[in-house]
Structure 1
Amino acid sequence: MSLKASLENTTIQNFDNPRIESFPQLIESLDHSPLKSQRELLYCKSCWQAIATENDIIQVNNSHDHNVCNPDGLWFHIGCFRLALGCHLVGKPSQHHSWFPSFYWQHSLCSYCHNHLGWYFESGNQDHFFALILDKISEDYE
């Protein structure tokens, strides 16, 4: 089966079953991480759910952050992350208007408040990353 056929069979994730249900659950999962001593958490600005760590920051196309525009003319300042355990994905993967050639994308939402935080990108060779809207996450917990 081709990657495209496989991706077309992907279903929308159920909101009632998010990957990470709460801040304590994310902390517990990070406590088992070898990066524990270096971690700095990043939070959803809408509900303060822990989303990712600063250790998850990566570069894609030689940069962590990118300014991108969607087909409706809306601009986003995004940052690239290896993981975003506080997010869950919705929708079928699509290559339509992908900002990263050869990558399929899906919407990435906060697993607690369901606010749109960005996108998840995956290529046919198993490369993947999250592109989170930097204005919607914070390193300061309020």
Structure 2
Amino acid sequence: MELNAIALHIKGAARPEGQGSRPDTGTHLREKPGRNRSLILCRACGRAITHERERMMVQGSHLHTFANPHGRVFEIGCFRTAAGCGYSGALTAEFTWFAGYQWKIAVCAGCLTHLGWLFVSAGSRFTGLILNRLAQDNR
């Protein structure tokens, strides 16, 4: 299924709040010419974040909708890797959306837009990316 088919609502993305220093950055993705159709980008700056082939199911679904403790609702997609992300903060289990997982904030390594969360458990990890902060490269 293409990213556009999973109801991307393209809106402007906000910069992460409270970012005092630059996070650890991920590796910039490189694609061969003509092979970008599966590339998923940061909506704010166009940096390559991950690929469609990295989609995965967690707790029976790729897509999840959650609210944070402040009532803000996020629709996320789960990805095995997101090499275009950097990660900020220490892992925490507080208010986790996935039982048994700790999380930390995932940001675009290019522009620092908050893109989601890295979830880590014993022997497993994935990145939950906020779908309306992503775009698909249709070149």
Same fold (TM over 0.5): yes
Say which one has the larger Rg: 1
Letter in 2 for 1:26: L
1:12-27 equivalences under 5 Å are 15=22, 18-20=25-27, 25-27=28-30
The AA in structure 1 aligned to 2:57 is Q
Determine if contact 1:38/1:55 at 8 Å carries over to the other structure. no
Counterparts of 2:78 and 2:23 in 1: how far apart (Å)? Answer: 27
Identity %: 35
Corresponding letter in the other structure for 1:71: P
Deviations 1:42-95 (A, max 9, x none): 000000000000000000001000000000000000000000000010000000
Residue equivalent to 1:139: 136
- Contact 1:39–1:55 at 8 Å: present in 2 too? no
Determine the structure 2 residue equivalent to 1:79.
Answer: 77
CA drift at 1:16: 7.2
| Structure 1 residues not aligned, in runs of 5+ | 1-13, 32-36
Q: 1:141 to 1:113 in 2, by over 3 A?
A: farther
The answer for the alignment partner of 2:114 in structure 1 is 116
2: CA distance, partners of 1:46 / 1:141: 16
1:40, CA displacement in angstroms?
1.0
User: In structure 2, what residue type is equivalent to 1:18?
Assistant: T
String of CA shifts for 1:30-49, please: whole Å, max 9, x gaps: 66xxxxx7971000000000
| Alignment correspondent of 2:92 | 94
Structure 2: tracts of 5 or more residues without a match? 1-20
Aligned residue type for 2:136: E
- Count of residue pairs brought into register by the alignment: 118
